[in-house]
Amino acid sequence: EPEVTQTPSHQVTQMGQEVILRCVPISNHLYFYWYRQILGQKVEFLVSFYNNEISEKSEIFDDQFSVERPDGSNFTLKIRSTKLEDSAMYFCASSSTMAETQYFGPGTRLLVL
Amino acid sequence: LAKTTQPISMDSYEGQEVNITCSHNNIATNDYITWYQQFPSQGPRFIIQGYKTKVTNEVASLFIPADRKSSTLSLPRVSLSDTAVYYCLVVEYGNKLVFGAGTILRVKS
């Protein structure tokens, strides 16, 4: 069964450093998403992406965040200058159409020191 | 976005049927109901989705009454591995997923 994959599974970084989280969505999916979950809290929407453009973004997704689909398979989330409060699990999701089920990856645990 | 309300936690024993009810009083005509499961430190996993009446798949059933103001996820014969957080979401066509706190299901032996 096809699945969303994410790398790395864990990332530790120093405050102020840039991080890039990588996702490989399911191959025939066209809609891509990033969510995050701070430890013990709810899963929160960050951004949705379709046709090489951001479709929607939340208040969390400020100028420090960016997304990119650099090639036909990868979908990345970049945090330019990490803050302590960026520590969270980051989940990538994809769906085949706008109305179809979103399938989530296993997540990247980001720890900012 | 329609708000959902579900129990904070539920306990069950192996082999029992578990029903988790979610209320969504202000669900809109275009909204559909989706349930996800999440294990600790893992991504949410899609369980089932429906618009009205009953939907069944290999892992669960979803019952939605005619007024669609609530829905019930039914897990037949749970096992210890079904211990997880279960999220009820009301999703507008093409919209982002808005997760609540979910229901922590604990299955005991």
Share of chain B above pLDDT 90, in %: 83
Beta carbons of A45 and B34 less than 8 Å apart: no
List, in order of start, the domains of chain A with CATH numbers: 5-95 (2.60.40.10)
Query: Does any CB of chain A come closer than 8 Å to the CB of residue B66?
Result: no
pLDDT digits (tens, 9 = 90+) for B49-98: 999 999 999 999 999 999 999 999 999 999 999 999 999 999 886 678 98
Predicted local distance difference test score (pLDDT) of residue B1? 62
- DSSP letter string over A8-58? -SEEEE-TT--EEEEEE--TT--EEEEEEE-TTS-EEEEEEEETTEEEEE-
| Tokens standing for residue A25 | 């969505």
Q: pLDDT grade, residue A38 (50/70/90)?
A: very high
> In the numeric block, which tokens belong to residue A65?
């965040």
Nearest C-alpha neighbor of A61 from the set A22, A90, A40: A90
pLDDT (average), residues B13-31: 94
What is the average pLDDT score of chain A? 95
pLDDT for residue B82: 97
Confidence of residue B2 (pLDDT cuts 50, 70, 90): low
Nearest Cα of chain B lies from the Cα of A35 at a distance, in angstroms, of 9
The mean pLDDT value for A38-43 works out to 94
Of A41, A36, A84, A33, the C-alpha closest to A60 is A36
Q: What percent of chain A has pLDDT over 70?
A: 100
Task: Confirm if A74 and A32 have CB atoms less than 8 A apart.
Answer: no
What is the pLDDT, as a whole number, of residue B91? 87
β-pairing, B9-13 with A65-68? unpaired
Q: B95 vs chain A: nearest CA distance in angstroms?
A: 8
pLDDT exceeds 90 at position B10: yes
Task: Answer yes or no: do A93 and B100 touch at CB < 8 A.
Answer: no
Average pLDDT on A100-107 reads 94
Q: A4 CB near a chain B CB, below 8 Å?
A: yes
Q: Tell me: the pLDDT tens digits for A41-93?
A: 999 999 999 999 999 999 999 999 999 998 878 999 999 999 999 999 999 99
Domains of chain B by start residue, with CATH: 9-108 (2.60.40.10)
